[in-house]
A = this chain, B = another copy of it.
Amino acid sequence: DKGGLQAQSADGKYSFKLGGRVHADATYSNDDKFLDSKGNPSEANDGTYIRRARMRFDGVFDKDWFYRTEADFADDSVAMKDIFIEYRGWNWGTITVGQQKQNFSRELQESSNDLMFMERSLMDVLNTDTVDRAIGLNYQTKGKGLISSNDAWVAKLGIYGDSIKPSRTGTEPENDYAGDEGWAVSSRLTYNPILEKDKLIHLGVAGNYRTPDDTGDVAESKALRYRYRTTNNQSNLTVLDSHDIKDVDNFKMLGLEGAGMYGPFSAGGEYTHTWIERKDGSEDLSFDGWYAEAAWSITGESRSYKEGNFGYLKPKNKFSLKNGHWGAWELATRWSEVNLNDREFRGGQMSQLTVALNWYINENVRFMADYNRNFNFSNPAVTTVGGGDPDALDTFMMRGQVAF
């Protein structure tokens, strides 16, 4: 991408790139006075925040070795994102070592710089704490012409430990019992029967298996917990909460993906199912979630797509007052649901409708406006002030974004 700082050695074998992103948000919620599960007043936070502020170092060494380290500093704290080394000198595929996203869900794989909506869907409640970044070893390979000359596929398989965080407890550990790390295997396969610049069909399937920390005769350091907070980082309003799910022996996840694009129009969806196997007499659990989305590039552009994931909408004409160009405009809508209820277990269930209007100034700057309606509540984590389930929670959000 133009605009980031890039440098290359004369022989082309070494290169380097600095990247970064800023997502500056404002949010407002309507009729948001609730009581939390302890009966305390609870409210979605209205105001401004920095959703992401990242710096990234990228590089290629001796042609075959790629490297990335990216840190997020929003909220005045550090959250390391990608930290990996990748070997690209082998014909049969790419090997990646370090912290990286696990192989699951198109929505999760796509960069927050590129997504059409300010936040991921309700389905992501099942994915964000289970198949997001972890430290591991991944193998990726891809091909063309499997069936016809116009198709393509990508296959990934990885084995993972945990992410950076869970291995430490407290800042002054002194024989804190941390136990051994758990491990996971995940795989994602995508296939495009049709793959052209302005026309494509995307199909995908992914699976994940994880065994949590070895617990022995000592409790696990961190129980599994699924939650939905309105407008993730900003608001403290937890609308859905499974609370701690203990005695987890392992869990399995299945993901299904489908999408299509025809010129400026696109539609797609995903489904995630999670099976949690528990021990010591605790009941097994089964949750699921899904979303369906549709988008229209008002100014006529087709979305970019690469190896199983959609990318940034590049405007045909960059915004310019002088030249009378208005960049690209995009209208998108999404319906998503998540269900954390299973027989007697009441983690809650809800639906969300999102409508988004996006303005792509150029390849680096974008403005977004999102409207979210959360509703169809069953066993949510909040009640109305008078008692009883809320009817709906409406949130309006805006974002200014720079990325390179």
Contacts and interface: CB of A to CB of B under 8 A. Distances in A.
Interface of A: 2-7, 9, 14, 16, 18, 20, 22, 24, 26, 33, 36-38, 40-43, 45-50, 53, 55, 57, 59, 61-62, 64-65, 67, 69, 71, 73-80, 83-85, 89-90, 97-99, 134-136, 160-162, 164-165, 167-169, 173-181, 214, 216-218, 234-238, 241, 318, 320-322, 361-365, 381-382, 400-402, 404
Contact of A61 (B37, B55, B362): B362
Contacts of A175: 36-38, 40, 42, 236-238, 381-382
A367 B398 CA distance: 44
Nearest to A2: B14
Given A16-B18, A404-B59, A164 B49 contact: yes
Q: Across chains A and B, which 3 residue pairs bring their CB atoms closest together, nearest first?
A: A47-B181, A48-B161, A36-B175
A83 to B, nearest CB: 5
Contacts of A382: 175
A241 B381 CA distance: 41
Contact of A69 (B26, B47, B53, B90): B53
A136 to B, nearest CB: 7
A240 B262 CA distance: 66
Contacts of A4: 16, 59
B76 A165 contact: yes
Contacts of A164: 49-50, 74-76
25 contacts: A2-B9, A3-B9, A5-B18, A6-B7, A18-B57, A22-B83, A24-B83, A24-B97, A38-B175, A41-B218, A42-B177, A43-B178, A43-B179, A45-B179, A45-B180, A46-B214, A48-B134, A48-B181, A50-B80, A50-B83, A55-B57, A59-B404, A67-B364, A67-B404, A175-B382
Contacts of A48: 134-136, 160-162, 181
Contact of A24 (B14, B99, B162, B167): B99
Contacts of A75: 164, 168
Contacts of A134: 48
A149 to B, nearest CB: 29
A365 B74 contact: no
A248 to B, nearest CB: 17
Contacts of A64: 320
Contacts of A362: 61-62, 65
B62 A318 contact: yes
In the assembly, how many copies of this chain are there?
A: 3
Contact of A73 (B47, B80, B241, B402): B80
Given A26-B161, A65-B365, A180-B43, A400 B49 contact: no
A20 B73 contact: no
A7 to B, nearest CB: 5
A176 to B, nearest CB: 5
A78 B78 contact: yes
Given A37-B175, A55-B69, A180-B47, A76 B84 contact: no
A296 B303 CA distance: 55
A61 B99 contact: no
Given A3-B9, A62-B318, A76-B79, 20 more contacts: A3-B59, A18-B57, A20-B57, A20-B69, A26-B135, A37-B175, A40-B177, A41-B217, A42-B175, A46-B181, A47-B181, A49-B164, A50-B98, A55-B57, A59-B402, A65-B362, A73-B80, A76-B80, A89-B320, A175-B382
A50 B99 contact: yes
A67 B22 contact: yes
B47 A167 contact: yes
Contacts of A320: 62, 64, 89
A181 B45 contact: yes
